[in-house]
Amino acid sequence: MKKLASEMKNHVLTGISYMIPLVIAGAVIMAISRVGGSIFGIVDIWDASHGESANTIIRLLHSLDGFGGIALGLMFPVISAFIAYSISDKLGIAPGLVGGMLVKDINAGFLGAIVSGLIAGYICLWIKNHIKLPKSMASVVPVFLVPVLGTLVTVLLVNYVIGTPFAAINVGLESWLNGLSGGNAIVMAAVVGAMVGFDLGGPVNKAAVTTAMALLTSNVYAPNTAAQVAIIIPPIGLGLATVFAKSKYNNELKEAGKSSIIMGLVGISEGAIPFAVENPLKVIPVNMIGSAIGSAMAVGLGAVNTAPISGFYGWFTVEKWPLYVLSIATGSLFIAICTSLLRSKDAGKETDTTMEEFDEAAWEEQWEA
């Protein structure tokens, strides 16, 4: 069992190594777009209306935001595909990609992408090892049987085993959060913060953020304030952790940390995903607590964010913005310090070794093939 857990961790790390460049590319491109938009006084450069602007630069900035979004949109298919690749070599790529796309469409989040990759990889490996055809038909297995059967089984399991429960949880959480908004504001803010920090763009996160934004139409601002604070705390906090505890992270995660801080500042929580995927049992609870602290603090101190904007370009439009920024800093520092303390001293060394083995062995084998 311990060996299987270790193997699965290595497969997940392989997926992360391929996903990180997409996160960095998407983060930087979107940051350029959103910072550029703020120069023109635009806080929603992603809105379709800016694609029709008479100003050529604004249209370009709008397009850049979309290009960055394309890169980020590939995160789940890529991590799923390359987890599957790590398990079953090239056989797992097609089922992993399709499974990852389905995860994206049903909002199953990064945990769903991990499960999709594991399902696709092990299904393809099982087909390869257990379905034997006559020698004259052996070529049918890798070019037809594995991609068709592997993809079919993967999408069925992802859609009906992973997707349905997540959808039910999503609807239930929306109703629950909507009811909380009329009660104790600080408790509600902490709950919203924890939900947003839980799955970083996944269904729980979206339930909280969507409901909070919907309540803006009723002039209820506390849930939105809590959500917008919580969106940016995990990526900033985990990015800072790679600065505070450099020796505990490999080079890839250090680079992801820089990107994560940028993504946090422009309001994109997905920057924290590589860290949550790598060590979910430690990172996710810390993310939830740090986000809850920051959100409850902001609402409790009277900060009010009346717009669905989490990036730094909207901070100074918030009522009592110094307290709002202080709350973000507090939650981020909590995550950075706790993550640094909880992370084992040799974590960076162990991960580097794993990646080196992958680069030198798997890629050489790939090119020779």
Band of pLDDT at residue 356, cut at 50, 70 and 90: very low
Closest listed residue to residue 35, CA positions, set 256, 242, 267, 363: 267
302: left (phi over 0), alpha (psi -120 to 50) or beta: left
Half-sphere exposure of 253 (CA within 13 A, CB side): 30
CA 7 to chain centroid, in Å, comes to: 22
Bridge partner list, 319:
304
pLDDT of residue 221: 86
Q: Does the pLDDT at position 72 exceed 50?
A: yes
**Under 8 Å CB-to-CB from 356, ≥6 apart: which residues?**
none
Sign of the CA dihedral 212, 292, 299, 307? negative
Q: Supply the pTM of this predicted model.
A: 0.63
Q: Across residues 229-243, what is the average pLDDT?
A: 95
pLDDT in tens, 247-284: 899 888 898 899 899 989 988 888 888 898 888 889 99
Query: What percent of the chain stands above pLDDT 70?
Result: 86
pLDDT at 183: 56
pLDDT for position 126: 92
Averaged pLDDT for residues 347-355: 50
Alpha-helical segments (H) within 89-163: 93-105, 109-130, 140, 146-157
The angle at the Cα of 82, spanning 361 to 118, to the nearest 5 degrees, equals: 110
Contact (CB, 8 A) for 237 and 193: no
pLDDT of residue 101: 93
Cβ 219 vs Cβ 238: under 8 Å:
no
What number is the average pLDDT over the span 46-68? 91
Q: What number of residues does the chain have?
A: 369
Q: What angle do CA 338, 343, 347 make, to 5 degrees?
A: 160
Tens of pLDDT, residues 292-305: 999 999 999 999 98
| CA 52 – CA 261 distance, rounded (Å) | 31
Inter-residue contact 44 to 311 (CB < 8 Å): no
Q: What separation in angstroms does the CA of 368 have from each of 45, 321, 327?
A: 46, 58, 53
Higher pLDDT, 256 or 108: 256
